[in-house]
Amino acid sequence: MKSEFVISCLDPKKFPTHQQQEYAFVGRSNVGKSSLINMITVKKNLARTSSTPGKTQLVNFFQIDDKWMLVDLPGIGYARISKKTRARWESIISQYILHRECLTNVFMLIDSRLKPQAIDVDFINWMGENKVPFSLVFTKTDKLTENSLIKNVEAYRTHLSEWWGELPDIFITSAETKRGKDELLDFIKKTNQSI
């Protein structure tokens, strides 16, 4: 797989102009977003990883196989940043998600070790209310037993069913074991072919 960095910025006016489909990755700080992106692209340091929440501070665009764009968004929620900076991030994330015409799908990353978190559920419902196409991606699944994983994913299904008649696609992943890589790439490939 060919993956190439294009640009990092916070100014929507500087976002690249092109005709390719874009797939955005978003999630709470420290959910394992950068590790997952590196796993998918088979490039160890394409996205910068860190144990410190809030490492991704810009909107990062990567071109994949000269066919589609992967977009790494800043983390939502907690990070050791000022309220002013966090408000700016959230504004940029919402501007990108709501107004980016070439955005094809948002992959919403969720830490599989945790029960449903309000910030995740609120963001999911916000995307639903705004008719944003998205999928749920459970991360760090190597950190818990299969039974616990099934229980936590089912807890999300049950919780979201209170608002949703039909749930979005769900992917089970691990950057450590490469679990879910083929499924994610197949989804992107099929989606690109259907457009």
3-state secondary structure 150-163: HHHHHHHHHHHCCC
pLDDT digits (tens, 9 = 90+) for 139-190: 999 999 999 999 999 999 999 998 888 899 999 999 999 999 999 999 999 9
| Largest distance between two CA atoms of the chain | 46
Which stretches of 48-145 are DSSP H helices? Answer: 83-99, 118-129
The CATH topology of domain 3-186 is: Rossmann fold (3.40.50)
Report if pTM > 0.85: yes
- Helical spans, DSSP H, in the chain: 33-41, 83-99, 118-129, 146-160, 181-194
Looking at residue 81, the DSSP 8-state letter turns out to be S
Question: Which are the contacts of 148, defined by CB distance < 8 A and separation ≥ 6?
Answer: 113
Contact 96, 123 (CB under 8 A): no
pLDDT in tens, the chain (195 residues): 899 999 998 888 999 999 899 999 999 988 999 899 999 998 766 665 544 444 457 899 999 999 999 999 988 875 556 677 667 767 889 999 999 999 999 999 999 999 999 999 999 999 999 999 999 999 999 999 999 999 999 999 999 998 888 899 999 999 999 999 999 999 999 999 998
Structural element, H or E, at residue 135: strand 134-139
